[in-house]
């Protein structure tokens, strides 16, 4: 009788010393967000935060949202799981809205509803980018886009921004030099952080470049409807098919609804929907039902948007006038024509990251330009949001900033009323 061969005896593995839980290698490329850190300041009543792009609470349609929520709760489906791509009523309302903006014939099947437009951007990156893929971003760039693309393992190529938006001559030089990006990301309307708007000529040219070189334009458009004068800018997507549009109800209705959307070429939308199912199965049917009612009521929505534009225009003018009075030639600034942001630069080259510490001691916060940097360090620049507060509080915030920037000043104890 044959005996079974003896099993080899392996030494017991050495115990692994206790320590931090290891993270994926790709996390090393994801920078922290200065805006995330500064949003914690909004809970401090002694600090006026010009840092986050927070829409004004006093301008949100509280009563209309409350009434729409009550009506939604009367329907059992509003508290049940829903379709991954979003409830039909909201997709229909968004499709009508996007069709009017772009001049394209869109239907509900062209829309994927997401938890804010940030989720749409993240899912889009995951659907289209392999590690090492080239992505073109504006420089300075939206911080949330930098984080998403870094997490996807993309290689970022910054293109400068001037008064007419992304410098397409610089982009075309990169393309002519052999760069083949998978995506080109742009906040084309009322740029975050620079506040500028891509000209219509450049929008059409960007769409032509996408067709010629095969990349997808990611048109991130949370601010396009907040134009201070005249109609909103015509989207890049009106000029070509290789465009994925990201939209949001956060800036025009309320962030807490967490309603965003993506309209993209069919194969992209389908991939995003599959990934979304693995992420959260579906969004909130309740808040989507509320958003659908408000977006579908086009007469009410137009009146609401008109009120937002008037209020934000007034706040922008009060903020910039206060900056001019407090700083004069010491600061160069943008002139907001829509959206929520003003970009400032100290002409003496001072480091705004160092200034931030003093500013918080004086009861005001902003985002240093370095948080948005891709290639240019932008150490003397900063971004401020004028949307959150009414005019007198904005003026107080600028005075605090001026005291913080002045030499040998003691912290202020004043608080906003």
| Residue 59 and residue 390 in contact, taking contact as beta carbons nearer than 8 Å | no
- The predicted pLDDT at position 45 comes to 84
Q: Are 101 and 189 in contact (CB under 8 A)?
A: no
pLDDT recorded at residue 12: 67
From first to last of its 417 residues, the chain has per-residue pLDDT tens of: 555 556 666 676 676 566 787 777 766 666 666 656 666 766 678 899 999 899 999 999 999 999 999 999 999 999 999 999 999 999 999 999 999 999 999 999 999 999 999 999 999 999 999 999 999 999 999 999 999 999 999 999 999 999 999 999 999 999 999 999 999 999 999 999 999 999 999 999 999 999 999 999 999 999 999 999 999 999 999 999 999 999 999 999 999 999 999 999 999 999 999 999 999 999 999 999 999 999 999 999 999 999 999 999 999 999 999 999 999 999 999 999 999 999 999 999 999 999 999 999 999 999 999 999 999 899 999 999 999 999 999 999 999 999 999 986 555 444 443
Structure tokens at 363: 């009861």
Q: Whole-structure pTM over 0.85, yes or no?
A: yes
pLDDT (0 to 100) of residue 378: 97
The residue written with tokens 């040219």 in the block is: 205
C-alpha span between 341 and 100 (Å, rounded):
26
Beta strands at 183-186 and 165-166: parallel, antiparallel or unpaired: unpaired
Helix (H, G, I), strand (E, B) or coil at 7: coil
Gap between the Cα atoms of 395 and 384, Å rounded: 13
Report the distance separating Cα 287 and Cα 106, nearest Å.
Answer: 23
CA–CA gap between residue 238 and residue 374 (Å, rounded) = 28
Query: Which pLDDT value is given to residue 84?
Result: 98
Supply the angle between the helices 266-280 and 116-128 in degrees, to the nearest 10. 110
Tokens linked to 310: 């008037």
> What's residue 414's pLDDT?
46
Residue 306: per-residue pLDDT: 98
Residue 413: per-residue pLDDT = 47
Of 253, 247, 148, 166, give the one whose Cα is nearest residue 209. 166
pLDDT, position 37:
67
């Amino acid at each position: 009788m044959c005996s079974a061969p003896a099993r080899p005896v392996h030494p017991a593995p050495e115990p692994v010393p206790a320590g931090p839980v290891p993270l994926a290698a790709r996390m090393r490329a994801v920078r922290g967000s200065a805006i995330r850190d500064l949003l914690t300041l909004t809970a401090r009543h002694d600090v006026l935060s010009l840092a986050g792009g927070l829409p004004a609470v006093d301008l949100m349609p509280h009563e209309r949202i409350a009434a729409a929520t009550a009506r939604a709760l009367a329907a059992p489906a509003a508290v049940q799981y829903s379709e991954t791509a979003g409830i039909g009523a909201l997709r229909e309302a968004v499709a009508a809205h996007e069709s009017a903006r772009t001049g394209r014939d869109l239907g509900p099947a062209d829309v994927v509803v997401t938890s804010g437009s940030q989720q749409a951007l993240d899912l889009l990156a995951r659907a289209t980018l392999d590690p090492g893929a080239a992505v073109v971003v504006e420089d300075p760039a939206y911080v949330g886009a930098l984080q998403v693309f870094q997490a996807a393992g993309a290689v970022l190529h910054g293109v400068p921004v001037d008064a007419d938006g992304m410098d397409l001559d610089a982009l075309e030089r990169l393309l002519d030099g052999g760069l083949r990006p998978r995506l080109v990301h742009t906040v084309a309307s009322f740029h975050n952080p620079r506040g500028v708007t891509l000209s219509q000529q450049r929008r059409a040219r960007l769409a032509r470049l996408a067709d010629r070189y095969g990349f997808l334009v990611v048109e991130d458009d949370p601010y396009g409807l907040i134009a201070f004068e005249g109609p909103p800018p015509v989207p890049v997507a009106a000029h070509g098919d290789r465009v994925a549009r990201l939209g949001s109800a956060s800036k025009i209705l309320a962030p807490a609804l967490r309603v965003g959307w993506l309209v993209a070429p069919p194969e992209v939308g389908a991939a995003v929907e599959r990934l979304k199912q693995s992420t959260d199965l579906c969004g909130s049917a309740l808040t989507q039902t509320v958003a659908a009612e408000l977006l579908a009521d086009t007469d009410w929505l137009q009146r609401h948007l008109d009120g937002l534009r008037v209020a934000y225009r007034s706040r922008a003018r009060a903020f910039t006038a206060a900056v001019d009075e407090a700083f004069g030639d010491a600061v160069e600034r943008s002139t907001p024509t829509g959206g929520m942001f003003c970009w400032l630069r100290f002409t003496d080259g001072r480091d705004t990251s160092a200034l931030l510490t003093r500013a918080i001691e004086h009861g005001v916060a902003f985002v240093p330009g370095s948080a948005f940097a891709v290639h240019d360090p932008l150490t003397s620049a900063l971004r401020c949001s004028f949307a959150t507060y009414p005019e007198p509080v904005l003026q107080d915030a600028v005075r605090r900033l001026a005291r913080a920037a002045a030499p040998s000043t003691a912290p202020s104890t004043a608080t906003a009323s």
